[in-house]
Amino acid sequence: MTSTVRVRFAPSPTGFLHIGGLRTALYNYLFARSHKDGKFILRIEDTDLKRTVEGADQDILDSLTWCGFKIDESPYHSGEYGPYRQSERKDLYKKYADQLIESGHAYYAFDTEEELTEMRERLEKSGNPSPKYDSITRQSMKNSLTLPKDEVEKKLSEGTPYVVRLKVPRRETVRIEDKIRGIVSFETKGLDDQVLLKSDGMPTYHLANVVDDHLMEISHVIRGEEWLSSTPKHILLYQYFGWEPPIMAHLPLIMSPSGGKLSKRKAEEEGIPINTKEYIKQHYEPEALVNFLAYLGWSPGDDSEIHSLDELCRIFSLDRVSKGGAVFNHKKLMWYNEHYMREKPDRELAERVKEIAFSNGVSGIDDDYLQQVIPLMKERVSKVDEFATLGRFFFEDPQEYDEKTLKKWKDDSPELVKAYREKIEDWDEEDFKADKLKAALQEVIDEKGVGFGKLMMPLRIATTGLSFGPDLFPAMELLGKETVLRRLDRAVEKL
């Protein structure tokens, strides 16, 4: 094994890249980059063709690229260890399955689906809640350990369908030293004789994963805790092949705020986007998601919270990854998002807002005008799309007012708004300034002897269509006299 760090992110393209997968990719990436000459490899584990989803593989690449990861080797980046898509390595795995049969660590099994079902039902009836094909049951099944040698050969030459199974020893303890969890031991007693090669000649995840990690000289396997239970099988495989296993590190689960693993269903219930693609579509800042995910199971050991991807690459270490589940705090993510969004130049934000507004059906926005909108809204929004939604009034007259807003429009609102309009209607355009507009409000409320909110709220509703938003007077100044007067009139008339 080489002494350089080589890690891989090895997703199965059975769906779009979810947030847990992205965190695994991130930790692998950070680990690779925290070592001199460390390599980050993307390997597509598509051996289960039935479950492969079209477009998933491109989605994975797009998501990693969006986060700013630079991939050293992958199906799309050249490398010496390819191909990097397991379906393109199919022919290679059989040789290794054969090698295990030869050495007595694997065997052919010819059982049909019906025979397997029958075995399971029989065992269930006799009180075994989780029947397995294991060191006991294999003795009464149709395989190369129970059938006479000539019959096995006959079946093979006739092309009878078969699978290759791992011969898991009856009683053995398999130990690993996990970088995060410490020593973990497993009893082989609870394991089944894992299928390594399926009847269509495709390897299962276990065989392909171990063979490829070895051939690609992977130094560290960093993956989610859900794979820990597969690890003893992998360790047996390394042992039987006579290979040194990579160093293992199993990352803590990502938990839902209401408890339990953050499943797709739970995420939906809590309004948490689950796929990276949704974060992209919903205009999150990639730097925010990266920074947030880095802290979901790791911390640098001080109270710093803001780190760019480059900084994270420098300070990340597996020693500081926690064992316990990490709770997904969406508010914290929004906090990161606000931070990174506010750091971006107004010009860049303006360009993005323009595109978003356009896709929301608002076109013809003047660039100079938009540049002035950005600073007014920047401290008020959490995501860039909110410039276009909460700030839609900057680009068009409010079309309708929602019920909650209407409740804040009171009986005396029309009269107060009219009085305000009269105060400002004869002003010259150059007098139409925030401080003067504010002073006019003060004058009206003094004259009418009412509280500040009595006029402020209806003015806001009339001008913006909303009961909350950025500072009203600078917004009015930017909108200009003509627009403001028109909106005040419309509100009085409509509401």
Q: Binding residue for ligand GLU (CB under 6 A) from 5, 7, 10, 210? A: 10
Do 326 and 225 meet the contact criterion of CB atoms below 8 Å apart?
Answer: no
Interface pattern 329-358 for ligand GLU (x via CB under 6 A)? ------------------------------
Question: Binding to ligand GLU by residue 19, rule CB under 6 A?
Answer: no
Kindly state the smallest distance separating residue 392's Cβ from ligand GLU, in Å. Answer: 41
Q: Is 264 a catalytic residue?
A: yes
Question: Binding to ligand GLU by residue 11, rule CB under 6 A?
Answer: yes
**Tokens for 321?**
């990854």
Kindly state the smallest distance separating residue 200's Cβ from ligand GLU, in Å. Answer: 18
Question: What does the alpha-carbon distance between residue 339 and residue 359 come to, in Å, rounded to a whole number?
Answer: 25
Q: Binding residue for ligand GLU (CB under 6 A) from 223, 233, 421, 481? A: 223
DSSP, collapsed to helix, strand or coil, labels residue 267 as helix
Give whichever of 122 and 264 is closer to ligand GLU, judged by the CB atom.
264
Q: Binding residue for ligand GLU (CB under 6 A) from 5, 6, 7, 12? A: 12
Do 305 and 330 meet the contact criterion of CB atoms below 8 Å apart?
Answer: no
Of 8-16, 90-98, 333-341, 385-393: span binding ligand GLU (CB under 6 A):
8-16
- Provide the 10 A C-beta neighbour count for residue 88: 13
Interface pattern 26-65 for ligand GLU (x via CB under 6 A)? -------------------x--------------------
**Residue of 261, 232, 287 lying closest to 67 (CA atoms):** 287
Question: What does the alpha-carbon distance between residue 16 and residue 275 come to, in Å, rounded to a whole number?
Answer: 6
Of 5-13, 150-158, 324-332, 429-437: span binding ligand GLU (CB under 6 A):
5-13
Question: Binding to ligand GLU by residue 251, rule CB under 6 A?
Answer: no
Task: Give, as ranges, the residues between 191 and 210 that touch ligand GLU (CB under 6 A).
Answer: 205, 209
The answer, yes or no, to whether the previous bond of 273 is cis (omega within 30 of 0) is no
Do 229 and 171 meet the contact criterion of CB atoms below 8 Å apart?
Answer: no
Q: Binding residue for ligand GLU (CB under 6 A) from 66, 76, 81, 227? A: 227
CA angle, 371 then 376 then 380, to 5°: 125
Give whichever of 210 and 444 is closer to ligand GLU, judged by the CB atom.
210
Give whichever of 22 and 294 is closer to ligand GLU, judged by the CB atom.
22
**Could you tell me how many residues of this chain bind ligand GLU (CB under 6 A)?**
8
Of 6-14, 332-340, 357-365, 432-440: span binding ligand GLU (CB under 6 A):
6-14
Give whichever of 23 and 223 is closer to ligand GLU, judged by the CB atom.
223
Give whichever of 16 and 394 is closer to ligand GLU, judged by the CB atom.
16
**Tokens for 215?**
């051939």
Give whichever of 23 and 383 is closer to ligand GLU, judged by the CB atom.
23
Sheet of 163-166: strands edge to edge? Answer: 106-109, 163-166, 195-197
- Please pick, among 70, 154, 261, 264, the residue that the annotation labels catalytic: 264
Q: Tell me the β-bridge partners of 247.
A: 220
The dihedral sign for the CA sequence 210, 215, 221, 224: negative
Do 42 and 8 meet the contact criterion of CB atoms below 8 Å apart?
Answer: yes
Q: 411 burial class (0-12, 13-18, 19+ CB within 10 angstroms)?
A: exposed
Question: What does the alpha-carbon distance between residue 244 and residue 239 come to, in Å, rounded to a whole number?
Answer: 7
Residue 430 has, within 13 A of its CA and on its CB side, a CA count of: 0
In the complex, the residues that contact ligand GLU under the rule CB under 6 A are: 10-12, 45, 205, 209, 223, 227
Give catalytic residues, as residue numbers: 264
